[in-house]
Amino acid sequence: MPRPTLIVVDDPGQWPLDIPGVERVPARSYLTETRYLELKGAEVYNLCRSYRYQSIGYYVSLLAAARGHKPSPSVTAVQDLKSQTIMRIVSDDLQQLIQKSLATIQSKEFVLSIYFGRNVAKRHDRLAGQMFKLFQAPLLRANFVVGDKSGKWTLANLRAISASDIPPEHQDFVVEVARDYFSGKRRRVAKKTSSRFDLAILTDPQEAEAPSDAKALKRFVRAAESVGFSTEFITRDDFSRLGEFDALLIRETTSVNHHTYRFARKAVAEGLVAIDDPESILKCTNKVFLAELMERNGIPAPKTLIVHRDNRDQVVECLGLPVVLKQPDSSFSQGVVKVGEPAELKGAINRLLEKSDLIIAQEYLPTDFDWRIGIFDRQPIYACRYYMAKGHWQILQRDSSGTKNAEGRFDTLPVEHVPGAVVKVALKIANLIGDGLYGVDLKQSGNKVYVIEVNDNPNIDAGVEDQVLKEELYLRIMRVMLRRVERRKEGLSA
């Protein structure tokens, strides 16, 4: 049975092309109607006007991935299109093909429109196909310029375009190539890998609440060197040096619109083993994605509502009060508020919706502590109980400026001493995301276990998360990273 195929647009009238077997869907309908949540294995072609971070177009690709659909462009591709560094890498990789394809162009600027990997001029078809393989967005527009000193063409800009950006004179061509594409006449995407045995550990020496303290970082180095890595600490200023290494361990708080994501993305593009990988950063740092993923896969969680401007008046009816509101990319208790009074609710929701088209509202489940299960390579490696700060509803208590002024106590247990249901649920949600390093936060109420969130790049501090396994915790992480580097090396030499 063929996969359902959806073209998602802000307004279906923007995509006037009638293609058999392809359904046109308004973006808001795709995000909010139950039937699309329950649709199995759909291919989702996202032609929204904007893929800006936390816009409707961004969430179409993000939630398509959470639903087990296949989005095009993926959120990874969306982020790559914003990165000048990725543009430079692509320009370098395709240098010969770019010069050959544009050799006869007389001006110093050229715009290449790429429709499902094709261009209206056959002589540019190979270049269009290669760029489509790298970015996998249905409609792309590339801007090339001739360098003043080099005299060579370089890629200056590449962006995804919406259906409304297609010029009238290209409409018939786009209909033809779209029909070919959807009927199965597609080009295969080639993969490339490379590897060696040097490890970079990315840190920010000025970060006040880094995921690992200085003592833990020394233990990472000791473990890495004991299994055969040569290690070096790097900072954001070392971006251009990533190609010198074979693996990257990020021990700095990650975020999508941040250099940590760009490091992860470049590392993977250049064949390094990366912890965290960019897919894990994208998925874990967005609570809307996690909410959708848990809903689709039957993961127990506090009752949750994805809030947007059309349903913000339904929060109390659906969840009651008090309620917890979360900015999608909140972390370390920041961007998370508890609201207990109806008068406060509207203002709190509106403030969060100013930053994101979608936010999370969740029922409040009071507990004395949260579980954190550390998982790496699809195995539990540590278990902690973090207790709430005294007189507060969260583990960390912050003042009005966001500065931490109180923190609850903790205890660390052998994984085998943790209730089986807690570990089982933690593994289930983490394995839906990938095989990276995750910290799954859960609440336990009686015999019931609820997932609160999944953190990429979780805390590993000396004397806390390593209290049970001690040096062995770091060795387990480094053995897996070494194994992955060796597998990549073997793949290259095969």
At 37-73, the pLDDT tens digits run: 889 889 999 998 888 888 999 999 999 999 989 999 8
Q: Is residue 127 part of a domain?
A: yes
Indicate whether 192 pLDDT > 50.
Answer: no
Residues 30 and 172 in one domain: yes
Bridge partners of residue 382, in order along the sequence: 374
Residues 335 and 264 in one domain: no
**pLDDT for position 401:** 61
288: left (phi over 0), alpha (psi -120 to 50) or beta: alpha
Mean pLDDT to the nearest integer, 200-220: 95
Q: Is 188 exposed, middle or buried (0-12, 13-18, 19+ CB in 10 A)?
A: exposed
Spatial separation of the C-alpha atoms in residues 277 and 280, rounded to whole Å = 6
Residues 124 and 226 in one domain: no
Spatial separation of the C-alpha atoms in residues 328 and 360, rounded to whole Å = 7
Indicate whether 22 pLDDT > 90.
Answer: no
State the pLDDT confidence band at 425, using cuts at 50, 70 and 90: very high
Which of 342, 364, 386 terminates a domain? The answer is 364
CATH number of 309's domain: 3.30.1490.20
Indicate whether 191 pLDDT > 70.
Answer: no
What is the H or E stretch that residue 9 is in? strand 5-9
User: Domains in the chain: how many in total?
Assistant: 3
**Helix 214-227 vs helix 471-493: crossing angle, to nearest 10:** 50
Give how far the C-alpha of residue 345 lies from the chain's centroid of Cα atoms, to the nearest Å. Answer: 29
Q: Closest by alpha carbon to 247, among 266, 214, 273?
A: 273
Mean pLDDT check: name the lowest of 107-111, 224-228, 394-398.
Answer: 394-398
Residues 2 and 119 in one domain: yes
Bridge partners of residue 83, in order along the sequence: none
Mean pLDDT to the nearest integer, 321-347: 84
Give the chain's mean pLDDT: 88
**pLDDT for position 353:** 93
Q: Is residue 212 part of a domain?
A: yes
Residues 174 and 121 in one domain: yes
Over residues 137-171, the pLDDT tens digits come to 899 999 999 987 889 999 999 998 888 888 989 98
pTM: 0.72
**pLDDT for position 193:** 33
State the pLDDT confidence band at 16, using cuts at 50, 70 and 90: low
**pLDDT for position 53:** 86
- Select the more confidently predicted residue: 83 or 250: 250
Residues 74 and 25 in one domain: yes
- Select the more confidently predicted residue: 183 or 112: 112
Residues 325 and 228 in one domain: no
State the pLDDT confidence band at 18, using cuts at 50, 70 and 90: confident
Collapse the DSSP code of 257 into the 3-class scheme (helix H, G, I; strand E, B; otherwise coil) and give the result.
coil
DSSP character at residue 388: P
Q: Is 103 exposed, middle or buried (0-12, 13-18, 19+ CB in 10 A)?
A: exposed
Q: Is residue 59 part of a domain?
A: yes
Residues 182 and 331 in one domain: no
The answer to whether 224 and 204 have CB atoms below 8 angstroms apart is no
The answer to whether 8 and 25 have CB atoms below 8 angstroms apart is yes
- Select the more confidently predicted residue: 13 or 98: 98
Q: Which domain holds residue 142?
A: 1-187
Indicate whether 80 pLDDT > 90.
Answer: no
Which of 322, 348, 364 terminates a domain? The answer is 364
Over residues 244-273, the pLDDT tens digits come to 899 999 999 999 888 999 999 999 988 899
**pLDDT for position 2:** 66
Spatial separation of the C-alpha atoms in residues 431 and 379, rounded to whole Å = 9
**pLDDT for position 171:** 86
Spatial separation of the C-alpha atoms in residues 494 and 483, rounded to whole Å = 16
Residues 311 and 251 in one domain: no
Spatial separation of the C-alpha atoms in residues 52 and 380, rounded to whole Å = 35
Indicate whether 196 pLDDT > 50.
Answer: no
Over residues 445-455, the pLDDT tens digits come to 888 999 999 99
CATH number of 219's domain: 3.40.50.20
Question: Token pair of 172, please?
Answer: 């018939």
Which of 187, 215, 250 terminates a domain? The answer is 187
Q: Where are the beta strands (DSSP E) in 246-368?
A: 247-250, 273-275, 304-307, 323-331, 334-339, 359-363
Indicate whether 135 pLDDT > 70.
Answer: yes
Q: Is residue 156 part of a domain?
A: yes
Q: Is residue 412 part of a domain?
A: no
